[in-house]
Amino acid sequence: MEVVRSHSGKSVVLSAFSVLPPLAQLSLASVGESHDELLHAMGLQNDNVTRAVFPVVMQQLQSIKGVELKLASKMYVAQEYQIQEQFEADTRRLFDSEIKNIDFVKSTQAANEINQWVEDKTNHRITNLVSPNNLNEDTCLILVNAIYFKGSWKKKFNKEVTIDRDFHKSAAKTIKIPTMVKINNLNYGESNELDAKLLEIPYEGDEASFFIILPNEIEGLPALERKLEENPALLIEASQQMYSSEVEVYLPKFKTETTTDLKEVLKKIGITKIFNSESAKLERLLKSNALLWVSEATQKAFIEVNEEGAEAAAGNGKIRFRKYILRALATADGFAHLTIRGPHVACDVSVNSNPTAHPPVRTRSITGRAALEV
């Protein structure tokens, strides 16, 4: 929610899950208060839990059927530091990740190398993640984080019926955007507590899905954000009450990308020690007792949704449902919480609050029964 607020009035996409593996790596590298701070933020009790949990989660992500999902994170450490062999081995074995020395003094060369690695890992969707202007002789460690997802809808939208349709940008303004449509049985729910509707659109393979939360009121985004921030369990409870129902879905084609300074985001949730030379205490990462701290942590996320399916790299849209129930009409535009959910993990989240730059998501549901799906 901090990221959404910092991009007020703009579309936002962020992968919260993909930040966890590098944080877990740093927890294994750190000692003292820095170590405790990282474990607390992740909700893990100790290093044994970290070592047990992450290999299982990483394996589950790679085994989701019917979609392509790649989680890529890498640490780049300044050339003069000697990396501990045990930490390097743990990085590969536990997190399927990498750590590498690089010469930050040669900033252009270093940025090109880092950006090429990210581009290769995200099917060329994420480019120019790191600027050479942010690298210099004082840079000692940076975190690079990306997740790439591509999935095809279990039931695709027909391109021939995609046309410009009305979308409420606000209660007072309507715009035209390219909107897809299909009729399908989908998992749907309504939450009085959230004052919102929920919809799940499956991908091929039935092990991953596109999950949407939409406020009932056209300008209900701020209230929904507050409720989710104050009590995340409301979302779990609402999703457990979802059921299958036939629905006509109107979903705008959209794409967007967001660059997030993870350093500032992590500080706001209580992770501060690793960014300070005196308090980072990354003693299990190096062979020596040299001071090492995190200089930069950046995520650039991308998502595109069209008739074929979704492609995300972080890797949004603003969603609208127009709902007809027994001929009663209600409209709502605003916040959309989109997550790629597998059988055991939820791994990608995107949020959007403004369709100005990119066509948002809009959904319209029609049913002759008491509920519809979006």
CATH code (residue 40): 3.30.497.10
194 & 276 share domain: no
267 & 227 share domain: no
38 & 134 share domain: yes
pTM for the full model? 0.74
Assigned domain for 6 exists? no
185 & 125 share domain: no
Number of folded domains that form the chain: 2
CATH number, position 363: 2.30.39.10
Burial readout 124-152 (b: 16 or more C-beta within 10 A, e: otherwise)? ebbeebbebeebeeebbbbbbbbbbbbbb
**285 closest CA partner among 17, 100, 53:** 100
Pairing of strands 98-102, 67-78: parallel
What are the structure tokens assigned to 207, written together? Answer: 């092990």
Question: Domain residues for 287?
Answer: 15-150+258-303
Strands (E), the chain: 11-13, 67-78, 98-102, 141-152, 163-168, 174-191, 196-202, 209-215, 243-252, 254-261, 296-305, 309-313, 319-325, 328-334, 336-341, 346-352, 363-367
331 & 250 share domain: yes
Q: What is the pLDDT along the chain (374 residues), one digit of tens a residue?
A: 454 455 455 555 556 777 888 899 999 999 999 999 999 998 999 999 999 988 888 887 777 777 777 777 889 999 999 999 999 999 999 988 899 999 999 999 999 999 999 888 888 888 888 889 989 999 999 988 777 777 788 888 888 888 888 777 777 778 888 888 888 888 888 999 999 888 888 888 887 788 878 788 877 777 887 888 889 889 889 989 998 888 878 777 777 777 778 888 888 889 999 999 889 999 999 998 889 999 988 777 777 777 777 665 543 222 223 333 222 222 334 444 445 555 555 544 444 444 433 333 333 333 322 222 22
24 & 90 share domain: yes
